[in-house]
Amino acid sequence: MVLLINPSSRQWNEEMLYGLFNTEEAELIKTIPLSSEASEDVLFLKMEDELPNEPQEVTNDEKQLWNGIWSMRVPPKVKTLLWRACREAIPTMSALFHRTISTDSLCVRCHANSEDSKHALWSCPDLDSVWSDMELWSFRFLV
């Protein structure tokens, strides 16, 4: 963020903005008001649910799942996507609704079900064209 703001004038560094972002994004960023005084950045998180005090016990099935994912011979980004999907940590409509970013949790493709990770990646009927090669993707219906 330091490079985007001219420290002496406390104005946006337009050259840097237009160099890093497309014109529309740069214009939107320029509408963000800046403080007249420099201050340390602070991260604020909205905690909706309290974290449990006790560590949660991992079952043997979960251990097998995680070991299976992390030992796969696929690029790390595939393992990460699977891990995030299993943890409901991808930006589905359901996750966005839970975080009050979206006004509803319905799938934007089929408009019939709440869009969680499983629905977004596997079970949405609008994905049938993606998964149409039954020989290649037959495991889809085992999940």
CB contact set of 127 (below 8 Å; sequence gap of 6+): 109, 121
pLDDT in tens, the chain (143 residues): 567 888 888 889 888 888 888 888 889 889 888 887 777 766 655 555 555 566 667 788 888 888 888 888 888 998 899 889 988 899 999 989 888 888 999 999 999 999 999 999 888 988 887 777 666 665 555 55
Whether residue 70 is found in the same domain as residue 115: yes
Whether residue 120 is found in the same domain as residue 66: yes
Query: Is residue 118 in some structural domain?
Result: yes
Q: Which of 29, 40, 38 is nearest to 8 (CA)?
A: 38
Domain count, the chain: 2
Query: Is residue 38 in some structural domain?
Result: no
Q: Please give the helix or strand (H or E) that residue 16 lies within, else none.
A: helix 14-20
pTM (predicted TM-score): 0.52
- Decide: 10 and 36 in contact? Cβ < 8 Å: yes
